[in-house]
Chain A
Amino acid sequence: MSLKEQLVSTSKDHLGSLETKLYSLMKPVTPRPEFVNTLRQRIHITGQPAWVSRFNNIQFILILVTGVLSGVVVVTMLARVLVNILVSGKKSSEIS
């Protein structure tokens, strides 16, 4: 066996024993049952209502932006109507 082959073989043996070590030490852990049960209950309680799932994020943002813009338009129109009423009331009182 050449030196190179010996080195490769030694390295493989060494990595093999490292793997064995990892298998013996890296064991799955069990979460505390209290934690698992509490989280299960919280998830069930705080689950989102079904209608939310019908919209994805982009749809939700579009609906939100449309709603806000519509609100702004309505408020502006109401303000203009109110100003017109006040101005016309003032003019009519000045004429009389």
Chain B
Amino acid sequence: MSDLEEAEILALASQGDRDSFGILYERYVERIFNYVYYRTGNVHDAEDITARVFYRALHHIHNYRDRGVPFSAWLYRIAHNLVANWHRDRSRKQEIPLTEVPTIKYKGDAPEQTMVHTEEREKLLQLIQNLTPDRQNLLILKFIEHMSNSEIGQIMGRSEGAVKSLYHRTLLALRDEIGDEMTVE
């Protein structure tokens, strides 16, 4: 069943077929988790929001219409809205320090590299989170998902040229933000 074309799986899922939705879940859970993790910067909230993305998708998939953009764009849009709500709510509430934070495994890092990179990553995550949501989305889709400008454009609802221009401005903004905080060899 997992070999079916995405359109067929989507058609079945939108008719209430849970197994088909399960296939979509398997395909996208890591990508959505990555997106949310880099937008929130912590594992607890990333898990909570990722779960809510899929619950929302499950309850609204019958409304999904293929308008020429990939299904992933629809999921990213849900994730984007929930992350925006999370940022809004967090600014109203006081933060509660977490006593036990689950560890996260970075793909492609050797154990000794993980230790070296941890501090730099934390700083980078903070800097990225200071960027506008659009710029954060762009960096995540480009560096985590390794998407082309055209694919990013489909998800963000922009032209390829606009994505390219936004990317350049994002790098410039990030370079200015980095300043003395991190050394760029």
A residues with a Cβ closer than 8 A to B are: 14-15, 17-19, 21-32, 35-36, 39-40, 42-44, 46-57
Decide: B55 and A26 in contact? CB cutoff 8 A.
Answer: no
A52 contact set on B, CB distance < 8 A: 16, 62
Q: In residues 1-51 of chain B, which contact A (Cβ within 8 Å)?
A: 14-18, 21-22, 25-26, 29-30, 33-34, 37-38, 43, 46-47, 50-51
User: Within 8 Å of chain A (Cβ to Cβ): is B92?
Assistant: no
User: Within 8 Å of chain A (Cβ to Cβ): is B109?
Assistant: yes
Q: How far apart sit A55 and B15, CA to CA, in the bound complex (Å)?
A: 10
Instruction: Count residues on chain B whose CB falls below 8 Å from chain A CBs.
Output: 51
Decide: B178 and A18 in contact? CB cutoff 8 A.
Answer: yes
A22 contact set on B, CB distance < 8 A: 124, 139, 143, 174
Q: In residues 85-134 of chain B, which contact A (Cβ within 8 Å)?
A: 102, 104-109, 117, 120-121, 124
What is the interface of chain A mostly: helix, strand, loop, or mixed? helix
Known: A18-B175, A25-B124. A47 touches B18 (CB 8 A): yes
A55 contact set on B, CB distance < 8 A: 62
